[in-house]
Structure 1
Amino acid sequence: MRDWAEVVAIGGALPGVEQGSSYGQPALRFRGKTLAGTTAPDPGSFVLHVAEGEKDMLIATDPATFWETDHYRGWPVVLVRYGTGAGDRIATLLRRAWWDRATIAQRKAWGARP
């Protein structure tokens, strides 16, 4: 992911995802919840919602891409740096964030969790 526009292009292609805002900043939203947003404390990063337990693994396995601040500690979100070459992994995480918030019918239509 090079920038927010690329995040929007990938996340916005998911069924029902809309551009909106979170804390007054651009965000991708689905079923009233934020999937990703531009509220990161560094303009070279964005916020991505992840499943419980995934954040620590992401930060441990790719700290050049995934990180957190004290503000986000204890929340199921990770900060993601643009331009690290982890685009495929980030796209999968966006799809997982969508799938985790999808209805049963939407999950059945989509298939297994990415």
Structure 2
Amino acid sequence: MPKFGSWDEVVAFALTLPGTELSKSWGSPAVKVAANGRAFLYTGREPDSFVLAIDQDSKLILLETDPDTYWQTPHYEGWDGVLVRFASDDPERVAAMIERARDEAAAKKPPRTRK
């Protein structure tokens, strides 16, 4: 069973998934899909949590079914991402959601580059 007590443990798990790499997003550490550069894990702004890039429907279900693990601040409202507490009582579900976020990111086109 995976353990997610810190950012380093989340990253270690995410890097076992196919085609992932440690990178940066907005100047902060993130895990991306190497083939298209899409990030699916971010360090975020909140202590004791990380950000998982996930679709709005999944986000709403996670917020409703496990608010002790999945939460948001006004900064993340309306964005395809949810805060995840490291101290989750259900690390297997967290692992499954990380895998799902990776799969969603892998299915997207590369992000636009800024000029």
- Taking structure 2 as the reference length, the TM-score comes to 0.82
Is 1:7 aligned to residue 20 of structure 2?
Answer: no
Rounded to whole Å, the distance in 1 between the matches of 2:6 and 2:55 is 23
Secondary structure in 1 matching 2:56:
coil
Consecutive unaligned residues of structure 1, counting only runs of 5 or more, are 104-114
Rounded to whole Å, the distance in 2 between the matches of 1:47 and 1:75 is 11
Aligned to 1:84: 88
Rounded to whole Å, the distance in 2 between the matches of 1:75 and 1:81 is 18
Q: 2:41 aligns with which of 36, 42, 51?
A: 36
Aligned to 2:57: 53
Aligned to 2:111: none
Aligned to 1:62: 66
Post-superposition, which runs of at least 4 consecutive aligned residues in structure 1 deviate over 3 A?
A: none
Consecutive unaligned residues of structure 2, counting only runs of 5 or more, are 108-115
Rounded to whole Å, the distance in 1 between the matches of 2:95 and 2:42 is 14
Aligned to 1:23: 26
- Taking structure 1 as the reference length, the TM-score comes to 0.83
Give aligned-pair identity as a percent: 40
User: What is the CA RMSD across the aligned residues, in angstroms?
Assistant: 1.2
Q: CA deviation at 1:93?
A: 0.8
